[in-house]
Amino acid sequence: MPSAIALGYALWGAHSLDAQASDAQYVWDHYAQHQSYFMWKGKPLLVTHNGYDNDPNIVGADWTDGRFSVERATGAVDATNPMLQPYFADGFWGWVQKFPQPTSGETVGVMPGWDRKHLGEATTPIDRENGALYIREWLRAISLHPKNIIISSWNDFGEETAIEPATAVSAPAWIDSYGSRCA
């Protein structure tokens, strides 16, 4: 199964175009030329995570690299956020999707829910609705017939988007931030 790489910290965290170029060079040298790397629009896909959703002083919003098909990802993809409007035509390739997910003929994202307040972060949780949200997102994404459906943040326990049960290393069993048993 082909895979691709998503970069992010260089732009949204370090605000450095040089660091982004260095990270892209590393991906090019070590991954992008392998047969198993995911090709999109005739080039290796590189997803860039940036502060499109909340950073008025964003660095590298239109960053690109001619060796790659560069697509964008951001923290909270919300169709009502005016900062994201210029980028919706191509879709967003990941992370927190607020329902109804923004759509394009190219890409629609799905995710089971999200909540990081247990880490002391000021977040707006997205309720899982006991799985109903995930079902609704999948049904909507499938009905739109996009070229890609992105499963955002797959099984990322740190982002509280995991859908797969965890195996307890020792008793008691894993409990997620929603209080549900995960084993």
pLDDT tens string 116-172 = 776 677 677 888 888 899 999 999 999 999 888 888 766 666 666 777 655 444 545
Q: Which contacts of 23-32 are long-range, i.e. CB under 8 A and separated by 24 or more positions?
A: 24/65, 24/67, 24/68, 27/68, 28/67, 28/68, 31/5, 32/5, 32/67, 32/68
pLDDT tens-digit map of 28-87: 999 999 999 999 999 999 999 888 888 888 899 889 999 999 998 887 888 888 888 887
pTM of this prediction?
0.77
Paired tokens of 138: 């999948």
Quote the CATH superfamily of domain 5-159. Answer: Glycosidases (3.20.20.80)
Domain ranges of the chain: 5-159
